[in-house]
Amino acid sequence: MALNKLRQLDQNSLGVTLPKDDLRIEGLLDENGNLRDEHHIHIRHVDDGEWRLELVRRAMNGRSL
């Protein structure tokens, strides 16, 4: 299991990196390994020390799928 460091982003938020291999499998990266398009993630706190991240897929009209 890989460990990822929690980082201070600004005064009100922290961040964690996601492995590019996992993002590539999801089709979120282009052929050069750069993020393709704009994506949003819904983060939900589910239990002590546990969060769930879910990619929000959008239809062409901008509505959530």
11 — pLDDT class (breaks 50, 70, 90): very high
Whether residue 56 is contained in a domain is answered as yes
Whether residue 54 is contained in a domain is answered as yes
1 — pLDDT class (breaks 50, 70, 90): confident
Domain with 26, as residue range(s), is 20-65
Question: Whole-angstrom Cα distance, residue 12 to residue 22?
Answer: 27
Whether residue 37 is contained in a domain is answered as yes
- Asked if 44 and 52 touch (Cβ cutoff 8 Å), the reply is yes
pTM of the model: 0.68
Whether residue 7 is contained in a domain is answered as no
Whether residue 1 is contained in a domain is answered as no
22 φψ region: left (φ > 0), alpha (ψ -120 to 50), beta (else): alpha
Question: Which pair of structure tokens corresponds to residue 64?
Answer: 């959530």
Question: Whole-angstrom Cα distance, residue 25 to residue 4?
Answer: 19
Number of domains in the chain: 1
